[in-house]
Amino acid sequence: MHDAGYNEAFDALERLVLEIDALASILCDASDTTDHDSVDSHNNFVVTTAEALVRVRKYINSDKHASFPELVARQFDVPCIGVEVFVYTSDKPTTADRVRLRITLPPGYPNLAPAEVAVLTAPKDFPKRLLDDLSLKLTNRTKELIGFEIMMEVINECRDALDDWKSARSLDSHELKDSCTVDKSLPSCLLSRRWIWVHHITNSNRFNQIVQEARQLHLGGYVKGGYPGVVVVEGSCQNCDEFVVWIKGNKSRPGGFGRNWGHHVRGEAVIEARQLPETFEVLEDDMGKLGGLCRQFGVEEEFREFILQHKASKEE
């Protein structure tokens, strides 16, 4: 089977293009008609090697029906593809509060070669030490996930690092004093919903553990398997907190999967009444079905914001 190596390389190119297109649909402003393959785009996701990506697209489309000998002569000219992503530290993004990432996708990505990540810019008060640590952390994360599409995982890791930095900074400010003042006239949190993005859920044992933990805590919601995985739980705030501690991994709660498994709590909602089914359920790898259920139970806006990263405008 002398064509096995070529088939794998061709598969890697197809996966790369599909990943770029998926991220563009999530991160780019639908009102911006500029092609995301162009460096002139004003979106949050830009392909910096536009001409190279065009060549890859033509190569894939024209060679799908070509004979193997014809392909051999052209398979060695696979270019690196570069993209840049802007990750923001606030809900009202400006150029002053964003991190600019450069992700280089070498020949063989994602099947055989890891991506390379560099943090180009960050908010001016973001310490250089943390900037260097973040670059190293993101690069190491790509090496752990060879064989998988990693760009959304890198973006989420960056968001988590920014959230940690903002939380630590606020604790050092006068806001700490204000936060210690409890207004007893306000009701305490009774019910909550948590949205957790997972790089992948494919192992049946992990499915079973997630379901068992959620049901033991009397949480409703869903777990969607595949790439990516999604977990949404709904119930008492205390039990939701306990579930999050467990799934991220904690010495006091053995059995969780930890940060290295790629869990990211992407959103939280304090609610007055349950909206999701009270029995925690398992879905197959079908994001569309999860979206339909969220629409049915009135939580589509949260699903779009926290999982698809589409934040509704005020006009909507």
Contact status, residue 310 vs residue 26, Cβ threshold 8 Å: yes
- Give dist(CA 94, CA 78) in Å, integer: 36
State the pLDDT at residue 60. 84
HSE (side-chain half, CA atoms, 13 Å) at 10: 19
User: On the CB side of 285, how many CA atoms lie within 13 Å of its CA?
Assistant: 11
Q: What angle do CA 236, 240, 245 make, to 5 degrees?
A: 150
Measured from the Cβ of residue 35, the count of other Cβ atoms closer than 10 Å reads 14
Q: Residues for the chain: how many in total?
A: 316
Cβ-based neighbours of 234, under 8 Å, separated by 6 or more: 191, 192, 193, 194, 219, 220, 221, 240, 271, 274, 275, 276
pLDDT at 255: 54
With a CB cutoff of 8 Å and minimum separation 6, the contacts of 53 are 17, 20, 37, 47, 81
pLDDT at residue 197, rounded to an integer = 85
- Residue-level pLDDT at 38: 44
Letter string b/e over residues 42-51, b meaning 16 or more CB atoms within 10 A of that residue's CB:
ebbbbbbbbe
Q: What is the largest CA-CA distance in the chain?
A: 77
79: preceding bond cis by omega (within 30 degrees): no
Task: With beta carbons less than 8 A apart as the criterion, state whether 209 and 255 touch.
Answer: yes
Per-residue pLDDT of the chain (316 residues; tens, 9 = 90+): 345 566 777 888 899 999 999 888 888 754 444 444 443 344 688 999 999 999 889 888 875 555 544 544 455 478 899 999 998 876 666 666 788 999 999 988 998 899 999 988 888 777 777 788 888 888 888 998 889 889 988 888 888 888 777 766 665 544 434 444 434 443 446 899 999 988 788 888 888 899 999 999 999 999 998 888 899 999 999 899 889 888 876 544 455 555 444 467 788 888 989 999 999 999 888 888 998 999 999 999 899 888 887 554 444 4
